[in-house]
Amino acid sequence: MAKQSAAKPEPAWIRHSRAFYKYLDDRSVEDEDGNRVASVYLTAALSELGISPPMRAKVYKVIYESNPPCAVAVVRGGGGKPSVIYLLHPPSEGDFENALTDAIPSDTVSPVAEEIAKRLERLEASTTGLNIVEALRNHEQRIATLEGSAGLATNQERDTNGTD
């Protein structure tokens, strides 16, 4: 019996990006220069497509920030006016890959930042299991005990900075 490999489903943000571009394309018209131009109410379009607000940022990144962009908004809608969007090309695999590369390339991280990261890791390792708040509380109690046994008051009238 041959194994059937199930195709891995596309992530939601990719499906939504494709659907959003198709929505724009379906409502676009060709202008006198041959450009595809859509005039739509973006909030209504995204709601109609079921694209949640958290997902919209990723969809916008694919559509508007690809290199080159899939679409360019030339008029931002609002106040009862639709957005006007020029469609350039449907989103491609390259556009989706570019949307995933938000991380800073490791060769651009400065040696100082790397040293700080190492120092932070060492600090975290050395304080594992240490309750800082409890340690400070204990320290304060010991100081108060020492001051009490030495007859020092917390609100002294004279200067006690060692210059007596």
Confidence of residue 104 (pLDDT cuts 50, 70, 90): very low
Domain span at 31: 12-100
Residues 87 and 115 in one domain: no
> Mean of the per-residue pLDDT values for the chain?
80
Q: Tell me: pLDDT of 144 over 60.
A: yes
* 8 Å CB contact between 28 and 87: yes
Mean per-residue pLDDT, 90-118: 68
Report residue 103 CA to chain centroid gap. Answer: 10
Give domain status of residue 26, yes or no.
yes
pLDDT band at 103 (very low <50, low <70, confident <90, very high): very low
**Pairing between β-strand 36-40 and β-strand 71-75 as defined by DSSP bridges:** unpaired
Number of compact structural domains in the chain: 2
DSSP element (H, E) containing 97: helix 93-100
Q: Does the pLDDT value for residue 52 go beyond 80?
A: yes
CB 71 within 8 A of CB 22: no
Whether the per-residue pLDDT at 81 is higher than 60: the answer is yes
Residues 83 and 75 sit within 8 Å (Cβ to Cβ): yes
